Structure 1
Amino acid sequence: MKKVDIVGGGIAGLALAGTLDPSQFHVTVHEQRADLPAVGTTLAMWPEAQEALASLGILGAIRENSPLIKGGALRSSAGTPWISVEGQNLVGVARHTLLRFLDSAVPPTVQRRNGKVDAVPGDSYLAVAADGVHSMVRRSVWGQGCAAKLTPYLAVRGVIPEDPGSESIGEYWGRGDLFGIGPSSGGTNWYASFRSGMGPEGIDVGDALDLARRRYSKHATGIQHVLNTATPETSLAQRIWTTPPLWRYSRGNVVLIGDAAHAMAPNLGRGACESLIDAVTLGKLVNTMPLDQALTAYNRQRVLRTQQFRLGSSLMMRVALAESAQPLRDKLLELTARRKSKASPGSKTSQ
């Protein structure tokens, strides 16, 4: 039995543990957290991520417990729609629900160890860093130059126990801030981002909510209603961190997956999806190839794609949270909306 140590028992770590062949590998998952979280915001599962969930045997259960994301609109801070976005068969799964089903897909032969890991396991056939944006493994093996990078933005998000109205669903772009409203299995999923000096560690969620209420007090009434309904118990607040660019995710027998490899801004909604795909891809390769060939194939399949998403999400964050360029951005979006309206069926232009 080949020894595999997975440092981190979140989305990527559990998905990998559920994919590795228990007849070939003795797998240990090291997780600092003692229990799975009880609350969490909604993650959009794109089709490729749904394929990864299907390979783990849990897609059906997740679909039964999660709403479909049928679309929405990109809006101004006042709520005026600019661009309508049709749904792409996305499933909106709560993070804690996703973790619960991933945990259920882990074979009983996998060993669980709770507690902080301070050093890369040294006697492994394969050591996997699934320990997130602040990955100890990445810093230990790739160097301190690969430490996480702090952005100037705060993310505040949560769930309120009432269904969102169709007229409110979408993402609102203001001057240096954004706000999103969408469906959740528990009601309405919401998220906000804006520049803030809070933190970066030990952020009080109640204080962050109060700051958000003041920040969005002149925005659309739907936003104000969500924030006035939100409570600290069902909300989260944290600064946004990203990883620097990496062009190889393995060194020797150590490999990076998920946020340890490519933590990205949340603006494209791809972070959790790519973590799942990383894990399932790596697991299937390691199950069927010698380790050196498997890691070469993993790098070839995953590095360029995920680094493109990492860069794209950063660029999208800058556009969505534009400050000095916000008037020009809004004019361009308004022009796009007018042109689309004139070209739509039934308009004078189309007739």
Structure 2
Amino acid sequence: MSKNCSLAETGELLKAAKKLVIVSHVSPDGDTLGSSLALMHALRALGKDVIMNVDDDISTVYSFLPGIQEYRRFGADETIEADLLVIIDASSADRAGNAMEVVRPGAVLNIDHHKTNTRFADYLYLDSDAAATAEIIYALLLEMGTEFTTDIATCIYEGIYTDTGSFKYSNTTSKTMETAAALLKHGVNPSLVSDNMELRSRSQVEMLRKVLETLTFLKDGKIAYIEIAPELYDRNVDTDAFISYPRYIEGVEIALLFKQPEENLTRVSFRSKEIDVAKIAVSFGGGGHKKAAGCSIYAPMKEAEKIVLQAVEDLFV
């Protein structure tokens, strides 16, 4: 069980450590990457030794983020000593990939905004009301007295931009907009972020065309799902936005995206209009928010689809 930390206590933990490993969650999105990179820049400015890790591939769509090249993927046989292991935007230990096996930390700190958090770390700062973990990082760096650079501000802004669906999702609050406005004062170029995040490569559009051919409806159109088969999967193609297509079809209440990046691993994304899909994700060891969640099923895609879709269909009995 984690010790709940205040923002000030979280800042003190970070300041006390000399060597830190910062981990972004698997299937990395803009929030986990932007939040982690902003924290990296701030801690390195304090003279800290910081290693960046994600146990997954990073889409090239995020290549504009300052410091993105600092990420590395740990080998299973590695051992890394650190004072503090900091896991960002992950609600459960499995979302950290192999970091908790590779890193030998003095303690594990988890900074998160998911209400489904399983309290797996030694120390936890959790704000489930925050629109994004990046919003938490902004408040944390203010608490720590960080001098905001354009690089730090850009990373935080991108994280908030991602998790609010470019400021259009229902989690966007007045606090969110005030934070974004403050970041602009530190040199953020909104068009740089939006242009990069909205840019679509030819390979992405070509994949989307093939993925949309898999669109399937269940329960009189209340459930819709799409698939990225192993032979179609390409780690260099960002597919996070694909789920928006079944999500916004009239009559669809739950949308799912299945993709198989490895032989016995299937990533599942859930989206809904009102139904709490986080409960389904948690039942499979994942987590997330009421209307946006995900999990990993250690099985081939067709096998994973069978058990997940049955759980989703049971909601409409």
TM-score by length of 1: 0.26
Which protein has the larger Cα radius of gyration, Structure 1 or Structure 2?
1
Greater relative contact order: 1 or 2 (C-alpha under 8 angstroms, separation 6 or more)?
Answer: 1
